[in-house]
Structure 1
Amino acid sequence: MASIEGTDERDILEGTTGADTITGLEDDDLLFGLGGDDVLIGGEGDDRLDGDIGDDVLVGGPGDDGLFGASGRDRLTGDAGRDRLEGGDNRDGLFGGQDNDILRGGNGGDTLDGDDGDDTLEGDEGGDRLQGGNGNDTLDGGQGQDILRGQDGNDTLDGGDGNDTLDGGDGNDTLEGNDGRDTLRGRDGRDTLEGGDGRDKLNGGDGNDELQGGRGNDNLNGQDGDDTLSGDDGDDILRGKKGDDVLDGGDGDDTLRGQVDDDTLTGGQGNDDLTGGQGDDDLAGDRGDDTLSGGDGSDRLNGGADDDILNGGSDIDTLLGGDGNDILNGGEGDDTLTGGRDDDTLTGGSGDDDIDGGQGIDHLTGDGGDDTLVGGGSDDRLTGGSGNDDLSGDGGQDSLFGDGGTDRLNGGGGSDILSGGRGDDVLIGQSGRDVLMGDEGNDRLEGGEGGDMLDGGNGQDQMLGGAGNDTYIVDARNDSITERSGGGRDTVQASFSFTLSRNVENLILTGSDSLQGTGNASANQIDGNNGRNMIKGLGGNDQLSGLDGNDRLMGGAGRDEIIGGLGDDRIVGGTGDDDLTGGEGSDRFTFETRQDGQDRIRDFAINDDRIVISRDGFDLNLARGTLDAGRFTLGNRAQNNRDRVIYNPSSGALFVDADGRGGSSKIQIARLDAGLDLTHTDITIAR
């Protein structure tokens, strides 16, 4: 054990194998501790201190010194000057002191403290603790599980191999975790953090930071400031927290949370979960089956490719599904939803929403508020919900349901189904064979082009068929029908007594009540129901059919075709040459005036059916009831002046002769089948 002191000159001082104290004093000295636990003090000058074997203490002093611990647990202090400190083997402590120093720990778990100046610290092997101190320092943990603290200044930290902890401290720092499961904290300043390989945790701290997770399943937190977070590979969790942050999940199934302020989130590849949080956020799912939630604020959500779920949240949001079969929910606020391509489901939520299904077979629901829904080019389903909604199917075979409120439904191209629901609705079929149902309320239905079916439902409804062969279902007595001239051959199905309006051709009575059906000046086709009907053709060449029940059918003007059907029917051809068929039952064929024309009775049944002739209409001075035998004859003319009704068995012609003299008083009123055993008992005289 020795105490060795140099001179003011350049000295070379060597210790012993014991625990020596060696002091260089002034000038550039070389000090070698050799064996033992030595204390080496360089003093002034640019000194080199080599502890060698043992647990040594090396102090450089003023000047640019080199301190080398070698083996043992050494403590190296640079002091003033640009010093180089190397710990060597074992667990060493290195302290740079003033100025720009280089510290290298070597093997073992070393402690490195740069102190003042722009220092370079290298942990090398082992679990090291590196602290930059003041200045713009560079810290490299090397191998092992290291702890790196930049402290003051703009520092650069590299964890190297192992599970490292990096803390930038104050200043604009750069932190790189490299291999292993690392924890990086930027703290104050504008920091750059890169996790590298492994499952890393990154916290930006204050300032506008940039965080990059690298490979592995990483956890990134921006903290305060306007931060940029990139997950890269792996299933990452990104939280922007305060500030206007930019988050990009990269590859993998990532979770992104914007949290406070106005953030931009991009999921990247994989099935990602994005939530904007507070503020006006911009969310893009990119590829994969993503879930996007805007949260508070006026947000913009874009699902991108694949099958996504988009939830707008509160306030006024914009949602775009993109490719894939997407689900869009506007939530609160007046939102804009666009489905994009493929088969989407869109729900506006509360608020006055604009919803566009885009391409694909879409399901659109307005929900609350006064909404506008547009289906797009495929076979879409649109439901307005509560509120006064505007629905447009656009192209395709669409189904539109107004639901509550006063709605406007426009089918667009294709054969569509429109249902108004509750409220006073307007339904427009446009082109195609559409089905329009007003449901409740006083509705207006416009079929447009094509053969449409219009059903007003309850309430006082207005129905306009437009071009094409339209069918009207009339459920209320105050319903009105308007057809333009040349608008096709139209049909009304009525469950109560009904009169056809102009330009409507056909009437079908439904149900089993006893109803009256009345035509118009056109050529009508009117069919009864199972009840006891009164059917009037009025003008035109009509086709009347009683079907079941004991019906009364009156052709009116024109050449009419009348079929009684089942039941005991009363048939009046009216003016014009009519074609009459009684059908089953005991039917009465009535001739009211000389102007009724010559009717063809096709199925007159002896004993069952009756010919009824109006006494007043034909100027016959006859008693009412069954025709007297003396007033009836067979042949082609009256046999005497008592004959009034003449049947020709050869031709089936049936005549009425007002005075039995022939001439102008004799007219043919009908033609029955030839060869009938017709007698006076088959003829009844009415008033």
Structure 2
Amino acid sequence: MAPIVAIASGTNPRETGSTIGKFLLTLSEPAPDGGLTINYTVATDLTAATPGVDYTALTGSITIAAGATTAFIDIVPLDDASLDPGETVGITLADGTGYTIGTANTASFTITDNDGTLGNDTLIGSDGNDIINGGAGNDSIDGGAGNDSIDGGDGNDILDGGEGADNLRGGNGNDVYIIDSPGDIISGEIEGTLGGWDKVKSSVSYQLGTGLEKLKLTGFAAISGTGNNFNNTIIGNNFNNQLTGLSGDDTLSGRGSDDRLDGGEGDDLLRGGDGNDTLIGGINSTSPSPISDNDILRGGEGNDTLDAGNGNDFLDGGEGFDILRGGNGSDVYIVDNTQDRIELETETAIGGIDRVESSVSWILTPGLENLTLTGFAPSSGTGNNLNNIIIGNDFDNQLWGNFGNDTLTGNGGIDRLDGGDGNDTLDGGDGNDTLIGGLNSPNFLIDNDILRGGEGNDLLDGGAGNDLLDGGVGADTLRGGNGSDVYIVDSISDRIELEIDSAIGGIDRVESSGSYQLGTGLENLTLTGFAPSSGTGNNLNNIIIGNDFDNQLWGNFGNDTLTGNGGIDRLDGGDGNDTLDGGDGNDTLDGGVGSDHLIGGIGNDAYMVDNATDIIVEDVNAGTDTVISSGTWTLGENLENLILNGADAINGTGNSLNNSISGNGADNTLDGGSGNDIINAGGGDDILVGGLGNDTLNGGAGSDRFVFNASNQGIDNITDFVVSDDTIEVSAAGFGGGLIAGAAIALDQFVIGSTSVDASDRFIYNSTNGALLFDADGTGAIAQIQIATLSTGLALTNADLVVI
């Protein structure tokens, strides 16, 4: 009887070819001598795979060796890049000679695809040359050994070709490529936003191709990494790397060992990390139009060399003894060791303004402009022959500008700032600081310095030159030296010391926010601040200026100029020919001894004069002003009132305004001039002349004379006429009417009543209303004119009226 043959399938094989699919043939009894050939066909109804594409083609028969009962039909899968859901292979036994087909006559299995789906796949290749397609999704693909071709498809993929020369394609998305062979190739990257930001991790030297942004060196060897024209990020491993950014704004990090980093063109960030590194930011060029890249170079630990090239660069050597080269441009150098060295190859017009930031004491070498002390310890900073800016830290600093017009700032701590030669600006900041602008020497250069002490009890020495010294808050000592200096004081404890008082001492000014008295050798004073204050001069020709509040200014000796500005001020020139300007407000101006010039300004001002050569200037409509005079005085234009003081017999004369004139206790002659004047003579035997206008006359104590120069000059009111003491004097020339000068009027020329009685009557006193009238002819042909008003009921007689 012929043996019975049956077929069964084994384990599903993978598409990579690392496994072979097997169908098992079994005989019911051993094959005869010479073997037994079994025929088979592909079961089309069970097979989806394609012969020659998905697996190797079959022969259609297999021979079972003599005496054997089993044999295998081998199916060798073929790799492709298709995303196949399942590649099924089916076998059906066919009729032949010497065997009978059993019931198990058909078998099948599925070749497992090594390509991904539309999801997030994890795919692993074999040791052969695989073709793997991840498809869409965030895939992780490991090609394994062999020269593989891997396509991650769209998505954020991780592609590792494994051993061999692999071809990797990430597609759209942020992809990571693992490179371990010089033969690995990354192909088909897409530039732009769709391509994503891709990173290469390489254990061999590598240069980024087009469309790749990041490179990280791995492994345990000294290798190199090179960028492209994108803005690359390149990171070294812990061995000696050479990293090159090429064009673009690149970030290069060397990490461990002795690395060389070259940013190339663009604004690059270079970090050396550990080791003795060389960092190159760009190209040094002295051409008129060099490429300027603004690079940041950080050396890290080790003795590093940083060469930034052209541009406004930032160089920080980090720990170690570093060499820093900024090149052309305005560079910033960070130093932390006295052994750090800054080398300037070229210092030209395009050299820029450079700044050194140092945590240790530092001296600026030629070509460097500015210095800032950092750190947390007392330090010193020294300039050069340029115009330096030197800034201290918050500890005790010593700053020296050397030559040039320097700016020194102490900040906190007890600092000593010395500007050296040049017009320097010094600011002590907090603490009890010493500021020196320059040397006091007749043979030394004259520098115009600005010294500001800040908070603390400071010592400021401006040296020779026209200096500004501001002690700031605290009890400060200010020394201006030779030259015209300005002193700013804000405390009564501030002290100004003048070492030299000579022809070269200059014209000095004190600006004080409180009351102040000028010491010897100081010329001028300006009151500042926001409160009433006083200012006092000395024996020099002082200029003293008040603030906008109520001030008291005294010139003392000298020909002084005092200005009150706003507020209700009192200005006293003292001795000398002084000029006083009250400014706005109701001011009192006293020129003192000498020929003074008084300017009241707007407001109701009082002028005190003692010399006929004193001059008062008053604007029209600038207030109601009063002159207080110890000598004979005539009111000038726009002045309203006059008061005579002292004990001397002096005179006072008004102007065309409505004046108020007051005499003293001596014999005064007071003339109102034009206007409706008020004259109060006070004590003494006074002469009161109302002049034009309706005047009010008060003789006060003494035998007073009330003078009328004409009958048509108005009606004067004599408020205190005493018949036994006072006299009314009329001018024969001014009145006419046959009056004869030199005697009292005749008895028949005077009448008490309301009108004249006969042709001889000239003066009529109406005792009822006090009116005193003049009648030029006594007949009524010429109308009576009232010249005065006296008290009513006076026992007035002709003897009380005298013709002059």
Q: In 2, are the aligned partners of 1:247 and 1:258 still within 8 Å (CA)?
A: no
The alpha-carbon deviation at position 538 of structure 1 amounts to: 1.0
Over 3 Å counting, the alpha-carbon distance change for 1:324 and 1:477 in structure 2 is same
Over 3 Å counting, the alpha-carbon distance change for 1:543 and 1:621 in structure 2 is closer
Q: 2:584 & 2:359 partners in 1: Cα distance?
A: 56
2:628 to 479, 483, 493: 493
Q: Which residue of 2 aligns with 1:526?
A: 661
Q: In 1, are the aligned partners of 2:677 and 2:693 still within 8 Å (CA)?
A: yes
Q: Does residue 543 of the first structure (1) align with residue 678 of the second (2)?
A: yes
Q: Does residue 685 of the first structure (1) align with residue 791 of the second (2)?
A: no
Q: In 2, are the aligned partners of 1:447 and 1:465 still within 8 Å (CA)?
A: yes
Q: In 1, are the aligned partners of 2:770 and 2:789 still within 8 Å (CA)?
A: yes
Q: Give the gaps of 5 or more residues in structure 1.
A: 1-171, 174-189, 193-206, 211-226, 232-237, 573-590
The alpha-carbon deviation at position 482 of structure 1 amounts to: 2.0
Q: 2:556 & 2:515 partners in 1: Cα distance?
A: 18
Q: Which residue of 2 aligns with 1:668?
A: 786
The alpha-carbon deviation at position 682 of structure 1 amounts to: 5.2
Letter in 1 for 2:668: N
Counterparts in 2 of 1:12-411, with a 5 A limit?
284-287=409-412, 290=414, 292=416, 294=418, 301-305=426-430, 308=433, 310=435, 312=437, 314=439, 316=447, 318=449, 320-321=451-452, 323-324=454-455, 326-334=457-465, 336-339=467-470, 342=473, 345=476, 347-355=478-486, 357=488, 367=498, 369-371=505-507, 373=509, 375=511, 378-379=513-514, 381=516, 383=518, 386=521, 391=526, 393=528, 397=532, 399-400=534-535, 403=538, 408-411=543-546
Over 3 Å counting, the alpha-carbon distance change for 1:457 and 1:540 in structure 2 is same
Q: In 2, are the aligned partners of 1:609 and 1:682 still within 8 Å (CA)?
A: no
1:478 to 610, 613, 616: 613
Q: Which residue of 1 aligns with 2:712?
A: 595
- Please tell me the root mean square deviation across aligned C-alpha atoms, in Å: 5.1
Q: Which residue of 1 aligns with 2:134?
A: none
Over 3 Å counting, the alpha-carbon distance change for 1:306 and 1:663 in structure 2 is farther
Over 3 Å counting, the alpha-carbon distance change for 1:512 and 1:327 in structure 2 is farther
Q: Which residue of 2 aligns with 1:604?
A: 721
What whole-Å deviation, never above 9, does each CA across 1:214-250 have from its counterpart, x for those lacking one? xxxxxxxxxxxxx99979xxxxxx999x999999798
What whole-Å deviation, never above 9, does each CA across 1:60-88 have from its counterpart, x for those lacking one? xxxxxxxxxxxxxxxxxxxxxxxxxxxxx
The alpha-carbon deviation at position 346 of structure 1 amounts to: 6.5
Q: Which residue of 2 aligns with 1:568?
A: 703
Letter in 1 for 2:720: D
- The SS at the match of 1:484 is coil
Q: Does residue 466 of the first structure (1) align with residue 601 of the second (2)?
A: yes
Over 3 Å counting, the alpha-carbon distance change for 1:666 and 1:460 in structure 2 is closer
Q: Give the gaps of 5 or more residues in structure 2.
A: 1-301, 304-319, 323-336, 341-355, 440-445
What whole-Å deviation, never above 9, does each CA across 1:548-571 have from its counterpart, x for those lacking one? 332222121122222223332222
Q: In 1, are the aligned partners of 2:699 and 2:720 still within 8 Å (CA)?
A: no
Over 3 Å counting, the alpha-carbon distance change for 1:518 and 1:610 in structure 2 is closer
Segment of structure 1 superposing worse, 447-456 or 528-537: 447-456
User: How many residues matched?
Assistant: 444
Q: Which residue of 2 aligns with 1:502?
A: 637
- The SS at the match of 1:445 is strand
Over 3 Å counting, the alpha-carbon distance change for 1:598 and 1:380 in structure 2 is closer
How does the TM-score come out when normalised to structure 1? 0.52
Q: Which residue of 1 aligns with 2:291?
A: none
Q: In 1, are the aligned partners of 2:683 and 2:700 still within 8 Å (CA)?
A: yes
Q: 1:396 & 1:564 partners in 2: Cα distance?
A: 44
Q: Which residue of 1 aligns with 2:772?
A: 654
- The SS at the match of 1:472 is strand
Q: 1:317 & 1:661 partners in 2: Cα distance?
A: 89
Letter in 1 for 2:765: Y
Q: 2:666 & 2:728 partners in 1: Cα distance?
A: 24
Q: 2:655 & 2:477 partners in 1: Cα distance?
A: 48
Q: 2:557 & 2:717 partners in 1: Cα distance?
A: 51
The alpha-carbon deviation at position 259 of structure 1 amounts to: 13
Q: 1:466 & 1:444 partners in 2: Cα distance?
A: 13
- Which has the larger Rg? 2
Q: In 2, are the aligned partners of 1:247 and 1:256 still within 8 Å (CA)?
A: no
Q: 2:525 & 2:767 partners in 1: Cα distance?
A: 70
Letter in 2 for 1:655: L
Q: 2:393 & 2:602 partners in 1: Cα distance?
A: 52
Q: 2:690 & 2:741 partners in 1: Cα distance?
A: 27
Q: 1:446 & 1:366 partners in 2: Cα distance?
A: 30
Letter in 2 for 1:332: G
Q: In 2, are the aligned partners of 1:363 and 1:380 still within 8 Å (CA)?
A: no
